[in-house]
Structure 1
Amino acid sequence: MSRLASALLALATVAAVAVAVRPTVDVTATVAFGEGYTPLFGFDNILRSADDRTVSLLLDRSTGSGFISSAMYEHGFFSASIKLPSDYTAGVVVAFYTSNGDVFPKTHDELDFEFLGNIRGKPWRMQTNMYGNGSVSRGREERYVLPFDPTTEFHRYSILWARDAVVFYVDDVPVRNLRRARAGRDFPAKPMSLYATVWDASNWATSGGRYRVNYQYGPFVASFTDLALAGCRAPSPTEEGCADALAASDPAVMTLAKQQAMRQFRERNMVYSYCYDTRRYPVPFPECDLVESERTRFKDSGHRLSLRRRRVGHRPARPGAANKADM
């Protein structure tokens, strides 16, 4: 065998080995609570199922509760099917998020799902947010009314944190896509833990604190199942190549169908956007794609306008006419 042939064979062997050992990310795999998480606070208010696959967090007069992932991650796909408390839930907040605030208090990163309770007859609202490198003065909140009742059955909520993008999913439909190239320094860049909590946010969660938690309707129970931690653990030399595998995983690939589904969800359900909140941010953020036809649906406070109901004997309101904002 010639030297050239031997060299080519050696290179092919190295490439084959590299492909063989390249890590994969199984975003469908779930773990038992004890395999990936540990209680954080309110220990008596954390109830685990017999098979350790479902955990319920309670908020009562004594305390809220929460759990945290046992490891920190540099990137990952974090998911849970969640069922929210029902009936009167004003002031109650259920959160599913990543953060490193305990490790980097002044330069922390964070990716949030926050579910904001409400008075009876009003829907839960879902809020997403992103902070990077301590950008707490530049909140990127978006708020949505969910197109289903999140209290009657479980629905899946997922956070993809890849090197170049963050994508929030609801029942496998992307609802928000933030690109690193446009967010710049505000993009999360340090290892984070995953958290789930339920707590009393009476001072702000419902109508700016107008409606507070009423413990006569408690305890408030949020249940979590199908817990997924498809992440790149930090620090771990064995995770080399994990970020590449994550970037090639299905949640990271934004097909045309996914983009269309995301656009439809946002058009129908988004009721607040920081991109249209010119009171807080006169200069739009670099990642904001401001569309004039969309801008007309939002007030300068960033809250969406509602159409007035047509009443007999009155001229119908023109499209886009202002009414009370969805809060």
Structure 2
Amino acid sequence: MASSSSCPPPSPRLAHLLPVLVAAVVLLGRGGEARQPAPLHGVVRSMAFDEGYTQLFGSGNLALRREGKRVHLALDESTGSGFASQDLFLHGFFSAAVKLPADYAAGVVVAFYLSNADAYEKTHDELDFEFLGNVRGRDWRVQTNVYGNGSTGAGREERYDLPFDPTDDFHHYSILWTQHRIIFYVDETPIREVVRTEAMGAAFPSKPMSLYATIWDGSAWATLGGRYRANYKYAPFVAQFGDLVLEGCPVNPIDHSATAACGTPWYEPVAAALSAEQRAAMSAFRRGQMSYSYCHDRRRYPVALSECDTAALPRLFGPDGMKYGGDRRHRRGGRGHRSDVVM
């Protein structure tokens, strides 16, 4: 683990390009090579596995390809697999290009997330992309979760139907986390923004976290509440990761408080300056692709949480938070510290 308590200063190249890059028009990538969010083109450097990561579990089910710049995570009857960042970070930009297992993938869960559950068992923070497999002929779904200070009971979950086949090619999934806001990206499109408010308090993730990527068996809940389970006749299930990016403030793993010297890193103004075009793209994605919204789930939250704009998209969702016309089967509970909304 790194013992540094400060972040490197923004590069001159980034300072020069930032005003132009932030103003770039953002559209969802369709076809061709998946691209990182527009403010980061040509600025953020991807790394080889050994430069910033370590194997978490899975023995031989983790394999490195292309000189360590691509990671294959496999799930078979014996085990899943996963890796984690070597450092803890307080804020930053975290990204990977991911290609999900094809064919029958019911019960399979692939996750790309930040967490500190190993250090804070009951008060952990977490930011997730969770990919939930499905039966043949039905699409994978992706869910984002925001947990702060152990708030898994109010996990602020959202779920989306992707407008592309995530098993056909690589697509970038990115988390930009600052002291004031969190932005989730799919390829070049910001799909979700969480702005810190006074009312959220410690429910806004604010403690150092590690970055994780895993594949595991979630048969008990992941596909239609456990109706369809992992079928190991189709194993191994392999998720591929590339374009690995860790851009953040590494902190001392012993004294987590020694982080004030990070100052104002480059990603703070990027997060605060979403353009009108980016916001329009985000609005279009949410209107067209979001299939569950915790802000509209009156069964879990008779009174919406403080940050929710209940005037946004109210006619699209039922009282259970599910989008009208979608698959409305769901189950709650039984997932440990992971999301408690399952559909």
Which category describes the TM-score, using the shorter chain as reference length?
Answer: 0.7 to 0.9
Aligned to 1:282: 302
Structure 2 residue corresponding to 1:41, chosen from 54, 57, 60: 57
Give 1:104 deviation, angstroms. 0.7
- The whole-number CA distance in structure 2 between the counterparts of 1:70 and 1:106 is 23
- Closer, same or farther in 2 for the Cα pair 1:22/1:198, shift >3 Å? closer
Matched residue, 1:99: 115
Q: Which letter does structure 1 place at the counterpart of 2:125?
A: D
Question: C-alpha distance in 1, partners of 2:200/2:318?
Answer: 24
Aligned residue in 1 for 2:9? 23
State the secondary structure of the residue aligned to 1:302. strand
Say whether the 8 Å CA contact 1:168–1:177 is kept in structure 2.
yes
**Among candidates 100, 105, 124, match of residue 108 of structure 1:** 124
Structure-1 separation of matches of 2:193 and 2:328: 24
Q: Equivalents in 2 of 1:141, 1:105: separation in Å? A: 20
Paired with 2:216 and 2:263, the residues of 1 have a C-alpha distance of 34
Maintained 8 Å contact 1:40/1:67: yes
TM-score, structure 1 normalization = 0.84
The one-letter code matched in structure 1 to 2:297 is D
1:115/1:124 contact within 8 Å kept: yes
More off after superposition, 294-303 vs 106-115: 294-303
The answer on whether the counterparts of 1:107 and 1:132 sit within 8 Å (CA) in structure 2 is yes
| Structure showing greater Rg | 1
The question of whether the paired residues in 1 share the 8 Å contact of 2:100 and 2:166 is answered with yes
2:73 maps to 1:73: no
Equivalent residue, structure 2, for 1:325: 328
Q: What secondary structure sits across from 1:263 in the alignment?
A: helix
1:270 and 2:287 aligned: no
Equivalent-residue separation in structure 2 for 1:92 and 1:157 (angstroms): 18
- CA shift, 1:98, in A, is 0.2
Does 1:247 pair with 2:233?
no
Deviation at 1:42, TM superposition (A): 0.2
Query: In structure 1, what is the equivalent of residue 77 of structure 2?
Result: 61
For residues 142-153 of structure 1, what are the structure 2 equivalents within 5 Å? 142-153=158-169
Structure 1 residues 304-315: aligned runs within 5 Å? 304-306=323-325
Matched, 1:204 2:204: no
| Residue among 159, 162, 177 paired with 2:178 | 162
SS of corresponding position for 1:240: helix
RMSD, aligned CA: 1.9
Q: Contact between 1:167 and 1:252, CA under 8 Å: does it hold in 2? A: no
Counterparts of 1:324 and 1:203 in 2: how far apart (Å)? Answer: 18
Structure 2: unaligned runs, 5 residues or longer: 1-6, 15-39, 330-342
| Partner SS state of residue 138, structure 2 | coil
1:163-242 matches, within 5 Å, as 163-181=179-197, 183-235=200-252, 240-242=261-263
Specify the alignment match of 2:280 in structure 1: 260
What is aligned with 2:149?
Answer: 133
Change (3 A) 1:179 1:92: same
> How far apart are the structure 2 equivalents of 1:159 and 1:244?
15
Q: Give the whole-Å Cα distance in 1 for the aligned partners of 2:311 and 2:68.
A: 47
In structure 1, the partner of 2:317 is 298
Distance 2:264 2:130 in 1: 26
Q: Could you tell me how far apart the structure 2 residues matched to 1:85 and 1:252 are?
A: 35
Q: How far, CA to CA, are the matches of 2:146 and 2:263 in structure 1? A: 22
The alpha carbon displacement at 1:177 in A equals 0.2
**Alpha-carbon distance between aligned partners in 1 of 2:106 and 2:169, rounded to the nearest angstrom:** 20
Letter in 2 for 1:245: W
Determine the C-alpha separation between the residues in 1 that align with 2:109 and 2:296. Answer: 24
Q: 1:22 to 1:324 in 2, by over 3 A?
A: closer
Is the CA contact (8 Å cut-off) linking 2:173 and 2:185 kept in structure 1?
A: yes
Query: What do residues 147-184 of structure 1 show as CA deviations (whole Å, max 9, x unaligned)?
Result: 00000100000001101000000002100000112533
Provide the rounded CA distance (Å) in 1 between the counterparts of 2:221 and 2:167. Answer: 22
Return 23-32 or 113-122, whichever deviates more. 23-32
For residue 238 of structure 1, report the CA deviation from its aligned partner: 8.8
> RCO higher in 1 or 2 (8 Å CA, sep ≥ 6)?
2
SS at match of 1:226: strand
Q: What residue is the counterpart of 2:33 in the other structure?
A: none
So what's the TM-score if we normalise by structure 2?
Answer: 0.80
Q: Give the Å deviation of 1:243.
A: 4.0
Q: CA deviation at 1:255?
A: 1.2
- Aligned residue runs from structure 1 range 74-89, under 5 A: 74-89=90-105
Distance (Å, rounded) in 2 between the aligned partners of 1:81 and 1:72: 21
Per the alignment, do residues 144 and 297 of structure 1 end up closer, same or farther by CA in structure 2, a change over 3 Å counting?
A: same
Greater shift in the superposed pair: 41-50 or 194-203: 41-50
SS at match of 2:282: helix
Contact 2:178–2:271 (8 Å) recurs in 1: no
